[in-house]
A and B are shown apart, each in its own frame.
Chain A
Amino acid sequence: RKEVEQDPGPFNVPEGATVAFNCTYSNSASQSFFWYRQDCRKEPKLLMSVYSSGNEDGRFTAQLNRASQYISLLIRDSKLSDSATYLCVVEEGYGQNFVFGPGTRLSVLP
C-alpha cells in the first residue's frame, strides 16, 4: 500500500476553471503537510503548508482532514501559469521522514 496517494491525473482544464486535487496518506501519526508544485524539468517549489484549520493563499485553498487522513488543494480561476505537477507531501516523525506523493499533473488550456 502506497503511503501517499494522489489523483492520477492528468487534469486538463480551461483557463478560469476551478480544479481540486486530493491526497490521502496512510500514517496516522503524520505531523505536517504541504503542497509543492514542480514544473517540467525543474525542482519542486513550496506552494503552501496545510494547517488543521485549512488555509488560503489567494486563489489556492488547502484543507486537511486528519480523521479521514485526507488533504485537498483547490485552485480557483486557473491561469496558464498554474500548469505544473502538484505534489502532496506528508511529514512523519517530527522531521525524520518526508513522503512525497506521485504528483498530479495539471494543464490549463487557453
Chain B
Amino acid sequence: ETGVTQTPRHLVMGMTNKKSLKCEQHLGHNAMYWYKQSAKKPLELMFVYNFKEQTENNSVPSRFSPECPNSSHLFLHLHTLQPEDSALYLCASSQDQQNNEQFFGPGTRLTVL
C-alpha cells in the first residue's frame, strides 16, 4: 500500500451536489493537511490537523468542511461549490507539526460544473 492515498482520483460535480474527498495515510503520521492547487497558482494550504485536532484554517470558505476521525484518515466535505473551486485537491501527512517533512497523496482532480 502506498504511503498516502486519495479517493476519488477524479470528481465532477454540480454546484448543488454534496460530495466528500477521502485521504488515508499508512505512514503512522500524526499531522495531515489539505491543499488546493489551481492552474497557474501555487499550492494553497487549506487545513491542518495535528493529532486529530484542527490547528489551522486558512480562511477557507465554509462550503469546504474538513473532518479528521483519526490520525490516519482525513476527509474534505464539499457542499454548494462554485466553478472556481475546480482544482487539484492534495492531501499530505507528516510525522507531526514539528517533524514536518510532508508526503503527498496523488490528489483528487475536482471539476465543478
Contact = CB atoms under 8 A, between A and B. Distances in A.
Given A43-B90, A43-B107, A44-B104, A94 B42 contact: no
A95 B42 contact: no
Q: Which secondary structure dominates chain A's binding surface?
A: strand
B102 A46 contact: yes
A28 interface: no
A43 B88 CA distance: 9
Interface residues of B, number: 25
A60 to B, nearest CB: 15
Contact of A95 (B41, B48, B104, B105): B48
Contacts of B76: none
A103 B42 contact: yes
A22 to B, nearest CB: 16
A100 B102 contact: no
B93 to A, nearest CB: 12
A23 to B, nearest CB: 12
A3 B42 CA distance: 11
Contacts of A98: 33, 45, 100, 102
Contact of A94 (B45, B97, B107): B97
Contacts of A100: 42-45
Contacts of B106: 42-43
B55 A96 contact: yes
Interface string B73-106: 0000000000000000010001011101111111
A46 B84 CA distance: 28
Going nearest first, the 10 A-B pairs with the smallest beta carbon separation are A95-B97, A43-B104, A100-B43, A100-B42, A102-B42, A95-B100, A98-B45, A44-B104, A43-B106, A96-B56
9 contacts: A43-B90, A43-B107, A49-B101, A87-B42, A94-B98, A96-B97, A97-B58, A98-B100, A100-B45
